[in-house]
Amino acid sequence: MPSTKGPFPSASQAALLLLAGFLFQYLVSALLHDVRQLSGLTSAQSGTMTMLLSNGLLIAAVVHVLGLGYRDILHPSTTSPAATFVFLVPPVLLLLPLVLLLDIVVVGAIEAVFPVSSWEQQAFNGMAESTLPAVVAACILAPVLEEMLFRGILLRAFLERYPRGLAIGYSALYFGAAHLNLYQFVLAFLAGLLLGWLYERSRSLLPCMALHGALNVSVSVWGSLGKGSFASDDPFAVPASVWFAAAAAAAVGTWVLRRLLGRRSGVRDAA
């Protein structure tokens, strides 16, 4: 049975924390709306500032309440950050091509059952803007802030409260739900399982941020090339050689990661 005692937050407390985060983001957005009228900020610039201020202040508040340092959130591992980056990030990035191809398959399957509405497509097009503020928000701020919240704070606490698989599942579920639409929910949930495994094994957000950032950069570049959504592509149109190369790269990356990380019992001993 899951533990009923442990560090903040529990699974139920995490739901309230994320709800408070959405409310906080709404309030910050409302305040910046008035500032935007006076300063001439674009909607993309205002959105980037909203993400930075609302998520940054929320994370800072939780870190303060828990009495943690940012090192405890970013890299609780006893291995040096430099060594973690050098040895783990390259094999992590080898997973990227297969993840992107699976992205096409999963979103295509979802869209076949639940077609994207016009307003949803408009929202997705806005997310794929290639303006500098939009790129900064998607490719830098989102990977850093979301990993700090969902893996560095939520998963870190879950691993001390629940069995490993349940803890990773909870964090992935909340990561998916935070995207507020079915299409991104499924993809974010599956990505959250992988990112959660990386964090649980490495006890570091560095490989998680690297993979998260690389995924967002790839989607952003795809959108800037005028390709639209990955969902608009036919996975069966991708040459078999590309699938083979992506699968081979992912197999190598997975083998290296398992050799380097071995078996972990969670972050309990590093807390």
Q: What is the pLDDT of residue 125?
A: 66
Q: Mean pLDDT across the stretch 148-157? A: 96
Task: Tell me: pLDDT of 267 over 70.
Answer: no
Task: Tell me: pLDDT of 163 over 80.
Answer: yes
Q: What is the pLDDT of residue 157?
A: 95
Q: Packing angle between helix 96-113 and helix 206-224, nearest 10 degrees?
A: 60
Residue 163, judged by CB atoms within 10 A of its CB (0-12, 13-18, 19+), counts as: middle
Label residue 136 by pLDDT band (50, 70, 90): confident
Q: What is the pLDDT of residue 237?
A: 74
The percentage of residues in the chain with a pLDDT greater than 90, rounded to a whole number, is 48
Q: What is the chain's mean pLDDT, rounded?
A: 84
Q: Which long-range contacts (CB under 8 A, 24 or more apart) does 124-132 make?
A: 124/183, 124/229, 125/228, 128/219, 128/220, 128/222, 128/223, 128/224, 128/228, 128/229, 129/44, 129/223, 130/220, 130/223, 130/224, 131/42, 131/44
Q: Are 155 and 264 in contact (CB under 8 A)?
A: no
Return the domain boundaries, the chain.
71-270
Model confidence over 23-64: pLDDT tens digits?
A: 988 888 888 777 766 666 667 677 778 888 888 889 999 999
Give the integer Cα–Cα distance in Å for 88 and 204: 10
Label residue 173 by pLDDT band (50, 70, 90): very high
What is the reported pTM? 0.87
Q: Are 88 and 207 in contact (CB under 8 A)?
A: yes
Q: What is the pLDDT of residue 211?
A: 96
* More confident site: 213 or 124: 213
Q: What is the pLDDT of residue 94?
A: 97
Model confidence over 179-219: pLDDT tens digits?
A: 888 888 988 999 999 999 999 999 999 999 999 999 988 87
Q: What is the pLDDT of residue 268?
A: 40
Task: Tell me: pLDDT of 233 over 70.
Answer: no
Q: What is the pLDDT of residue 256?
A: 96
